[in-house]
Amino acid sequence: MKENRSVQSLDPARRRWLQALAAAPVLAGAAAAPAPARAAVKTQARIVIAGSGLGGIAVANRLARMLDGAKITIVDRKEEHNYQPGYTLVATGVWPVEKVRDRNADYLPAGVEWVKDMVADFDPAANTVITAGGQRIPYDFLVVAIGVQLDYAQIEGMDVGAIGTDKAPGLTSVYPSPQAAQATWAAMQAFTAKGGNAVMTLPATPLKCAGAPLKMSFMLRDRLFKAGTLGSSKISFQSALGNVFGVKVVNDNVLERWKSLGIDVEFTRKLAAIDIGARRATFVSPEGEKQEMPYDFIHVVPPMRAPDAVKNSDLAWKEGPFAAGGWLEVDKSTLQHRRYPNVFGIGDINGTPRGKTAATVKKSAPLVAHNLVEVIAGRKADEAFDGYTSCPLITREGSAMLIEFDYEGRLTPSLPMIKPLNDGYFAWLMKYRMLKPAYMAVLKGRV
């Protein structure tokens, strides 16, 4: 009785951690021996997966194991697989670019047909995907995993191809590609050698990896400090929103840190235009007031929206907060389409309150695969997603915060002893060395 009372008096998080510790030897033994495979569901369903990013391939690997007889087709022209969470490490000189480049072919499961073409349109009424090459691919079930459209076109004068070229000195953006991340690091090195005026931007749309603009700011400040040019430099963060991060406690923590680091922040200022030759950026306020800012270094974060294939289709939200971006209309719990029950969404394309990160896919890929198999078997999608996402927020080289949260913006650390708002070595080590292996395990459909 006494023991029971003492266990019950532990707080739930601590109890959960102790239970996990107690189960560790059992689990270690289970992993050493091959786990008995759960019986695959027999079906002749035609399943199309649109997109071969982390979400698409992770779900393909899971479905290939969970279904027996299904015809699975994955549609994407892209042959290179990029570890996008590593772009900020490449762009700040921590990783070489090779670490974020891989091949999709190495991770697709056997027996899956790969249509190397882009999805141009969805016709959910006819259960058909139409490719840019004009191919019509019928399906019984569809998984939409086509990510986001980086809408640089909304910024007048912006030229993504000019990043890292002499045509646009100081122009950087971590988002578009490994090459852009590499060019961003080259520009950062050139800038930090002399110092000057740095402008960091944040648009008002939902973002994939919403922590990336913050990491770039922290790291730029660290690089200036280490180069000895911080004193002759100014970093100004221009947010189009009323904050810099969607989770209030994190937002407040970052703003406090930036205040002590000397990073200025201005709110409700949207990057509207850029003169990449003259190095001048134009920001507009909600009232339409324009202000020009000269820069020596600028980090451009593009507005983001759903790719046209979803945005212009009947799969997109028609009203509500996700309609403007044309995001996929899924139920935020089951990730099943709200009007087409044979359609599921995974990853950045989903019109859900938060979570456009690899960590979101890590937690939602098993759920999407499970719920889809349930629907194929004639049952209801019965697993619910809490919106888990994670952001290892680098505060300088060698230190980071490991922030995990859910749809409601509640901090939900996976391990109860982690203090999300403390920056330190463990979170850095996770980002630097452990999260890519975790990503690979997700990609292969194992975790």
Partner 1 sequence: MYEIWLVMNIVWEIALDFWPLLALGAIAWLVLMALAWRRPAAHWRSAWPMAAGVAAVAAVIGFLVVPTATRSSLQELAYWVDWANLASIALGIGAAALAFAWPAGVLWRRHIIAG
**Contact set with partner 1 (CB under 8 A):** 20, 23-24, 27-28, 31, 94, 397-399, 414-415, 417-419, 422-426, 428-429, 432-434, 436-438, 440-441, 446-447
Q: How far is the CB of 425 from partner 1 (least distance, A)?
A: 4
Strands (E), 106-153: 113-115, 119-123, 128-131, 136-138, 141-144, 149-150
Q: How far is the CB of 22 from partner 1 (least distance, A)?
A: 11
- What is the rounded CA–CA span in Å between residue 368 and residue 370? 5
Nearer to partner 1 (CB atom), residue 231 or residue 437? 437
Name the packing angle between helices 435-443 and 358-376 (round to 10°).
Answer: 20
SS3 105: helix
β-bridge pairing 67-68 and 41-42: parallel
- What is the rounded CA–CA span in Å between residue 369 and residue 113? 18
142, 209, 250, 401: which one is catalytic? 209
Q: How far is the CB of 183 from partner 1 (least distance, A)?
A: 21
**Integer CA distances (angstroms), 276 to 9, 16, 233, in order:** 62, 53, 20
Nearer to partner 1 (CB atom), residue 86 or residue 326? 86
263, 301, 391, 427: which one is catalytic? 391
SS3 68: strand
Q: How far is the CB of 264 from partner 1 (least distance, A)?
A: 26
Nearer to partner 1 (CB atom), residue 1 or residue 31? 31
Is 209 one of the annotated active-site residues of the chain?
yes
Nearer to partner 1 (CB atom), residue 259 or residue 446? 446
Nearer to partner 1 (CB atom), residue 72 or residue 427? 427
- What is the rounded CA–CA span in Å between residue 137 and residue 74? 10
Beta bridge partners of 404: 390
Nearer to partner 1 (CB atom), residue 66 or residue 309? 66
Tokens at residue 188, please?
């950062």
Nearer to partner 1 (CB atom), residue 186 or residue 447? 447
Contacts of 368 (CB under 8 A, 6+ apart): 55, 59, 143, 335, 344, 345, 346
Nearer to partner 1 (CB atom), residue 236 or residue 390? 390
**136, 128 contact by CB (below 8 A):** yes
Q: How far is the CB of 359 from partner 1 (least distance, A)?
A: 11
**Integer CA distances (angstroms), 261 to 150, 166, 193, 230, in order:** 30, 31, 19, 10
Q: How far is the CB of 204 from partner 1 (least distance, A)?
A: 33
Tokens at residue 290, please?
């324009």
- Helix (H) or strand (E) holding 190, with range, is helix 178-194
Is 285 one of the annotated active-site residues of the chain?
no
For residue 333, give the amino acid letter: S
**348, 147 contact by CB (below 8 A):** yes
β-bridge pairing 290-294 and 280-284: antiparallel
Active site amino acids: 209, 391
